[in-house]
Amino acid sequence: MSCLVHVSSSESREIHAFRLDDGSGKLDLIEVVDVPGTGAPTRGNIPLAWSRDRSVLYAQIRIDPFPLSVFARDVASGCLRLVDTYPMPAPMAYLAPTRDGRFLMGASYDQALLTVNGIEADGRLAFPIQQTVATPPKAHCIVEAPFGEPSRGSSGGFVYATSVDGDCILVYRLDVASGRLTEAAVVPARPGSGPRHLVFHPTLDMLYCVNEHAGSLAAYSIDRKTGALQEVQYESLVPAGFTGRAMGADIHLTPDGAYVYASVRKTDTITAFRLDPVTGLMTRAGDFDVEDYPRGFSIAPSGRFLICAGQNSNRISVYAIDPATGGLTLVERYPVGKRPSWIEIVPDAVI
């Protein structure tokens, strides 16, 4: 099986597209695509998100007028073709489609808001924007839970968002018919922790959050009826002896839910935790040296490889995941653009 790997680099405004051999872990470069934008190069990230059928890739430059680009994917070659570019009301740190693929959600760190856009049949965005929602300072992530009953108004699915400087996770009801979010709860995090990115367990009612300021990982149980969260575990990601601001960054689970991985930028490490298959609780499996300033990484759909971007090294590294221990072994490094910060990995086939 092969997969497509897309890496966005904010300073050079490029997307590098690779094909991953899921047997060897080797990457073959397909193309390098320019991302439209004006003004000075951005030092933030260029968030990427695939449409639910994996036929369209969304990317945004975080410089005014905050252009969001829509790229169509050629099924045979995997190459991207620019379809359209839209000015957005704010720079987004995170983009994610709803589960049914009808809306694209965004979280703006700089302007502390969430957005919801309709998605047309061809993947273009519908305007005007369905909704903008003000948040506490520095919203950084927005994701829909993999449970709930979308398209049923107030009894629909749940959406979770983070506020780094608000030290909280925001819970919303999603009305998929209209794309509107209605606040359901505000879940306080530990003071000074800085919730950043979220990921759900594939089979258990568990949510995991990497915290930016504290360099920590929190595990929450989820009430499916109300969407409420309850912290059940909290672990530091910082290696012994480190002092200073850790800068927790990204988080991902293996598809089988066996391991959760989280990166810390100032220590150049990714920490692995083994997850209990019944409780979802975490046991530390190891701290692994990776690229310089690992702002973004991703895990292949097979769970065999982890690919990490080094924002300061201008390259990505492929690591083999040991299924018995969760350990990471370097396979190979590849040069990409300037300040790579986001990686998406999807199966080669379109749904």
- Residue 94 belongs to a domain with what CATH number? 2.130.10.10
Exposure string over 203-213, b if 16+ CB within 10 A, otherwise e: ebebbbbbbbb
Q: What is the pLDDT of residue 154?
A: 42
Domain range for 109 is: 2-347
Residue listed under structure tokens 């997969």: 3
Q: Is the pLDDT of residue 152 over 50?
A: no
Q: Is the pLDDT of residue 93 over 90?
A: yes
Q: Is the pLDDT of residue 134 over 50?
A: yes
- What are 138's two structure tokens? 């520095």
Percent of the chain whose predicted confidence (pLDDT) is above 70: 95
**Over residues 255-260, mean pLDDT:** 99
Q: What is the pLDDT of residue 199?
A: 99
Nearest to 337 by CA among 310, 317, 319: 310
Q: What is the pLDDT of residue 41?
A: 65
- φ/ψ (deg, to 5) at 155: -100, 20
Give the confidence band of 239 by pLDDT, cuts at 50, 70, 90: confident
Residues 95-130 pLDDT 10s:
999 999 999 999 999 999 999 999 999 999 998 898
Q: Please enumerate in sequence order all residues whose Cβ is within 8 A of that of 277, keeping only pairs 6 or more positions apart, or say none.
A: 257, 258
Domain count, the chain: 1
Give the confidence band of 153 by pLDDT, cuts at 50, 70, 90: very low
Q: Are strands 296-299 and 282-289 parallel, antiparallel or unpaired?
A: unpaired
Task: Tell me the residue type at 338.
Answer: K
Q: What is the pLDDT of residue 249?
A: 99
Residues 160-187 pLDDT 10s:
999 999 999 999 999 988 999 999 999 9
Q: What is the pLDDT of residue 43?
A: 65
**Over residues 192-207, mean pLDDT:** 98
**Over residues 146-155, mean pLDDT:** 57
Residues 20-57 pLDDT 10s:
999 999 999 999 999 998 766 666 899 999 999 999 99
**Over residues 219-223, mean pLDDT:** 98
Q: What is the pLDDT of residue 40?
A: 66
Distance CA 86, CA 83 (A): 10
State the CB neighbour count (10 A cutoff) for residue 332: 12
- φ/ψ (deg, to 5) at 154: -70, -15
Give the confidence band of 147 by pLDDT, cuts at 50, 70, 90: confident
Q: What is the pLDDT of residue 156?
A: 65
240 vs 18, more confident: 18
Q: Is the pLDDT of residue 205 over 60?
A: yes
Q: Is the pLDDT of residue 155 over 80?
A: no
Q: What is the pLDDT of residue 241?
A: 83
Give the confidence band of 208 by pLDDT, cuts at 50, 70, 90: very high
